[in-house]
Chain A
Amino acid sequence: MSGRESGSPYAPHTDAETEAMLDAVGVADVEALFDIPDSVRFDDDFGIDAKSEQEAVTETRKRLRRNDDLTEFLGRGHYEHYVPSLVDHLAQRSEFLTSYTQYQPEVTQGFLQALFEYQSMLVELTGLGVANCSMYDEATALAEAALLAKRVRAADGDRVLVPEYVRDGHVSVLQNYTKGAEVVVERYGTDAGNVDTDAFADAIDDDVVMVYAENPTTTGAVEEHLDAVGDLADKHDALFCLGSDPVALSLLQRPVDVGADVVVGDASVLGLPTSYGMGLGVFACREDFLRQVPGRLVGASEDSAPPEGARGGGGEAAETGGNRTYTLTLQTREQHIRKERATSNICTNQAWVALRAAIHAASLGSEGLVNLAERMVELPRDLAADLDAITGVRAPVHDRHHFREFLAHTDQPAPAIASDLEADGFAVHAVGDHRLQVCVTDANEHAADRLVAAFEEVTH
């Protein structure tokens, strides 16, 4: 059909068109357009055979089929909720899927409004004045929060305090991002799954620029000491950064009410399947840090009236101008304008994932979201009680309220139990010699009874 035998299936040129274009450019051969010295010319093959679409599909699927089909009871900062079909179908609209950053807002109003809706939901959920329209994931958002804290805090200081329960990988990201700013990251103690307020009070001083806590924590405990953390942070002029997610935020204490200055987290709990850890970084903060916010911001504006006699134009509204419109704004903070003095190096972000989260949240509505969150309190409560009834298992380990997940003590070595459960088709975290972590949501609750039965079997 294309009049040629091989090459990119997505380059539409016929041989005749190629010839005509080469003529117009004034070269005999396309290779003449490559202005590359012979000494660095690559004249070998990659050794990758071209395939038909069908073969390429088969090849990729063949690899993925090697994955075991396990029912996952895994969480620790990355969660799965059922994603309504509508989310996929709407987000896959190609006008969304195949677009880029909204450098021409007049033809990208749809995506801009969707991102504005996403920002608005986060503002409502956090109670803070500003939310950006995405970072990569929770860990990078936390790192950006620390950098913001280092910039905005009035007094000098270089310490950032994070609780022991935070994942090591997240702390590694935080350390890497803040190394250049000469920030020192330190862990503070926890008590029965929550912040140890005494240990925290000992750790904080006027050299601390930011303190971090999570609600719920990485191990699923609802944090009961946020007010105390917020008060102490305030007393020492340190920013209080709270980690959470939109489902939890729909039910738990509002961050603004406990004194949070910044909220980070992962909004991929809405709209995305587990995706091997792909994220959607939340970043919200107090309005007075607006000009220090990293990443993209969508703002509302108006369009202009056309001049007399201008061609085109739509109906009456378009003739008058002044319609609500949306645009990327405050871009002078960003790398493409401010270069090395930008608030962040982020350019390509997670916009399409934010679109998915916004659609998912809107499809739930506030009532649906609160109901989902309440189930995330009840499901682990029930599952922990069932596991606790098994001899040799104690769950939850901490006498706290839990959200989605909890720790379980096992008399037998936890890694061996996890391994045996895997053989039975279940994945759980082994997080210590005698500790497992179990996460239950609407995505896997249907298998909770079978998990309990398997637990019973492997611990006997």
Chain B
Amino acid sequence: MEHYDQAAYEQADGDQYEPLLSEKDETTTEVESSLPDELTRDKLELPSLAEPELARHYVRLSQQNYGVDSGPYPLGSCTMKYNPRFTEDIAALDAASVHPDRSAESVQGTLKLQYDLQDYLGRIGGMDAVTLQPPAGAAGEFAGILLADAYHEANGEGHRDEVVIPDAAHGTNFASAALGGYDVVEIPSGDDGRVDIDALDAALGENTAALMLTNPNTLGLFERDIERIADMVHDAGGLLYYDGANLNALLGRARPGDMGFDVMHFNVHKTFATPHGGGGPGAGPVGVTDDLAAFLPEPHIRQTDGGSYERYTPEHSVGKVHGFSGNWLVLIKAFAYIDRLGDDGLGDASAKAVLNANYLAEQVDYDVPLGPFHHEFVASAGDQDAADVAKRMLDYGVHPPTTKWPDLVDEALMTEPTEVETKSNLDDLADAFNAVAGEDDETLESAPNRTTARRIDQTAAARNPRLSWHDLD
């Protein structure tokens, strides 16, 4: 694996390089102001570096960090694929960066782009209307819960206070439902790793507000009974919510709207490859069927008869889920990405993502209990500790998969290579998996050895929290 960029793994001498820390004490500034003393603070103590030293500090930090551009990043359910860089230039334009309180007349370009992205996402998801406001996938889930809540309330069904969620679902589903004030009814997965129809039947009832479903699910399996599931939920008077985290597996093959979903969110930073450096920003647009369109957050965007674009408040709008209009720069990149790929590219992205997942699953010696897979699969590390396996994989120059989740699989290694890896990269990944599979616990527990930092003591960090410079010695 010599061809991978090893920068994140190599530290020349192991020294700490912390100029911001070491010099902070020398940069105390006495605060003087034309404001009365009682309205101001006395002093401020922040590091202060000359520009060249600052540049080196952050370049050095970047070299101690692994990104998709460093090598494969097969974190299951995170869809970490290559981010084409032309979108960065567009998002950096002055024209892209306007104040959110500008008049509609003066930002027709922004509104048109919003409108066109709403339209693209609607077509891709099979949804009638889309809001771009939620700033992340989990925020999209919460917006979906709000919409469901408002919908039931408007229909005189305000007593519905339960959201049904399979045990394989992302943790955000549970937290978003709870944030909306709903009781979570968790249902176990069946032996085949899919929704257990009997368990679902038992969970549904007159209090069901919605079922939140990821399809393909977090085991990488398509819920083949989706039409029956949709009928059951709808017959019970509930709504079917689609968690878009795994949409990358379905582009051009199936659409949530066609499957019977009433509400969905898109993780545009995953499916449409916008960089989400270090954990965000993302964006979580929400699509709905006509029945729910009147409840969408405001402002929503529509085209006037005259062809211009305007903001408006849908008739029964739930209000707002973000202070302004969400993560606009991310949305611009998503639009440009979709526009670049088009039907051919989007369909091919899913084809190659699914092919890569199945190919890699085939090459891995670890037990891969179920299949066939869509864009991710879950292997079991068996007698080995999955977290140790991950640390050891770092020594082989690859980023490990998501570990110990979903917990339906013992010592889970949840792997999503995405469409951007070559066969050769996948072979190298498989070699890393398989090399580790043959190693003893002692070797695993002592890993990693070739990284910037050696194994980090997570327990000590939690037991004795030190969360700022002020807590350091």
In the assembled complex, the CB of B255 is this many whole angstroms from the nearest CB of chain A, namely 5
Q: Which of A152-160, A195-203, A359-367, A445-453 is the interface stretch?
A: A359-367
Q: Indicate if B154 sits at the interface (CB-CB under 8 A).
A: no
Q: CB distance A277 to B323 under 8 Å?
A: yes
Chain B residues with Cβ below 8 Å from A304 are 454-457
In the assembled complex, the Cα of A264 lies from the Cα of B138 at a distance in Å of: 20
**B311-354: which residues lie under 8 A (CB-CB) from chain A?**
318-330, 332, 335-336, 338-349, 351-352, 354
Of A250, A277, A318, which contacts B454 at CB under 8 A?
Answer: A318
**B5-31: which residues lie under 8 A (CB-CB) from chain A?**
7-16, 18, 20, 27-29, 31
Chain A residues with Cβ below 8 Å from B355 are 13, 18, 21-22, 25, 30, 33
> Residue of A at shortest CB range from B333?
A60
In the assembled complex, the Cα of A342 lies from the Cα of B226 at a distance in Å of: 29
Q: Which of A39-47, A233-241, A388-396 is the interface stretch?
A: A39-47
Q: Indicate if A170 sits at the interface (CB-CB under 8 A).
A: yes
Chain B residues with Cβ below 8 Å from A251 are 31, 33, 35, 40-41
Q: CB distance B47 to A362 under 8 Å?
A: yes
In the assembled complex, the Cα of A419 lies from the Cα of B102 at a distance in Å of: 11
If the complex has contacts A273-B97, A277-B325, are A301 and B61 also in contact, measured as CB distance less than 8 A?
A: no
Count contacts on B: residues with CB < 8 A to the other chain.
208
Q: CB distance B100 to A277 under 8 Å?
A: yes
Chain B residues with Cβ below 8 Å from A6 are 344-345, 348
In the assembled complex, the Cα of A97 lies from the Cα of B11 at a distance in Å of: 20
In the assembled complex, the Cα of A243 lies from the Cα of B281 at a distance in Å of: 22
Chain A residues with Cβ below 8 Å from B426 are 21
Q: CB distance A303 to B62 under 8 Å?
A: no
Contact with A along B66-82 (1 / 0, CB 8 A): 11111001010010111
Q: CB distance A274 to B323 under 8 Å?
A: no
Contact with B along A318-358 (1 / 0, CB 8 A): 11010111110111101111111110111111111101000
If the complex has contacts A306-B449, A370-B31, are A25 and B362 also in contact, measured as CB distance less than 8 A?
A: yes
Q: Which of A113-121, A206-214, A406-414 is the interface stretch?
A: A113-121
> Residue of B at shortest CB range from A381?
B34
In the assembled complex, the Cα of A326 lies from the Cα of B465 at a distance in Å of: 11
**A260-314: which residues lie under 8 A (CB-CB) from chain B?**
266, 273-279, 290, 296-307, 310-314
Contact with A along B144-188 (1 / 0, CB 8 A): 001001000000000000000000001110111111111010000
Q: CB distance A224 to B39 under 8 Å?
A: yes
In the assembled complex, the CB of B52 is this many whole angstroms from the nearest CB of chain A, namely 10
In the assembled complex, the Cα of A21 lies from the Cα of B357 at a distance in Å of: 10
Contact with A along B246-276 (1 / 0, CB 8 A): 0000101111001100000001010001011
Contact with B along A402-438 (1 / 0, CB 8 A): 0000000000000000010010000101000000000
Q: CB distance B457 to A303 under 8 Å?
A: yes
Of A115, A274, A299, which contacts B97 at CB under 8 A?
Answer: A274
Contact with A along B90-112 (1 / 0, CB 8 A): 10111111111111011111101
Of B267, B278, B458, which contacts A301 at CB under 8 A?
Answer: B458
If the complex has contacts A363-B54, A427-B106, are A369 and B372 also in contact, measured as CB distance less than 8 A?
A: no
Q: Indicate if B244 sits at the interface (CB-CB under 8 A).
A: no
* Interface footprint category on A: 35 or more
Of A64, A129, A344, A352, which contacts B281 at CB under 8 A?
Answer: A352
Q: CB distance A337 to B171 under 8 Å?
A: yes
Q: CB distance A323 to B224 under 8 Å?
A: no
> Residue of B at shortest CB range from A293?
B467
In the assembled complex, the Cα of A88 lies from the Cα of B405 at a distance in Å of: 36
Q: CB distance B324 to A104 under 8 Å?
A: no
Chain A residues with Cβ below 8 Å from B65 are 95-96, 99, 107-111
Chain B residues with Cβ below 8 Å from A317 are 13-16
> Residue of A at shortest CB range from B135?
A136
Chain A residues with Cβ below 8 Å from B44 are 124-125, 250, 366, 369-370
Of B136, B275, B452, which contacts A349 at CB under 8 A?
Answer: B136
**A147-168: which residues lie under 8 A (CB-CB) from chain B?**
147, 167
Q: Indicate if A384 sits at the interface (CB-CB under 8 A).
A: no
Q: CB distance B345 to A47 under 8 Å?
A: no
Q: Indicate if A48 sits at the interface (CB-CB under 8 A).
A: yes
Chain A residues with Cβ below 8 Å from B267 are 348
Q: Indicate if B55 sits at the interface (CB-CB under 8 A).
A: yes
If the complex has contacts A46-B123, A310-B446, are A315 and B348 also in contact, measured as CB distance less than 8 A?
A: no
Q: Indicate if B289 sits at the interface (CB-CB under 8 A).
A: no
Q: CB distance B277 to A99 under 8 Å?
A: yes
Q: CB distance B66 to A107 under 8 Å?
A: yes
If the complex has contacts A57-B336, A347-B137, are A274 and B45 also in contact, measured as CB distance less than 8 A?
A: no
Q: CB distance A42 to B258 under 8 Å?
A: yes
Q: Indicate if B304 sits at the interface (CB-CB under 8 A).
A: no
In the assembled complex, the CB of A229 is this many whole angstroms from the nearest CB of chain B, namely 14
**A65-82: which residues lie under 8 A (CB-CB) from chain B?**
65-68, 70, 72, 74, 76-78, 80
Chain B residues with Cβ below 8 Å from A337 are 171
Q: CB distance B461 to A299 under 8 Å?
A: yes
Chain B residues with Cβ below 8 Å from A277 are 99-100, 322-326, 328
Q: Indicate if B366 sits at the interface (CB-CB under 8 A).
A: no
Q: CB distance A50 to B342 under 8 Å?
A: yes
Q: Indicate if B139 sits at the interface (CB-CB under 8 A).
A: yes
> Residue of A at shortest CB range from B466?
A300
Chain B residues with Cβ below 8 Å from A460 are none
Closest 6 CB pairs of A and B: A277-B324, A180-B181, A365-B48, A50-B342, A139-B323, A7-B348
A-B contact pairs, 15 of them (CB 8 A): A33-B358, A57-B89, A63-B116, A64-B93, A70-B106, A106-B456, A110-B8, A124-B46, A274-B98, A298-B467, A303-B454, A324-B16, A329-B462, A336-B170, A342-B178
Contacts A46-B124, A278-B324, A313-B449 aside, 9 further interface pairs with beta carbons under 8 A come to A8-B345, A99-B277, A100-B73, A179-B146, A310-B449, A314-B10, A348-B276, A359-B54, A362-B20
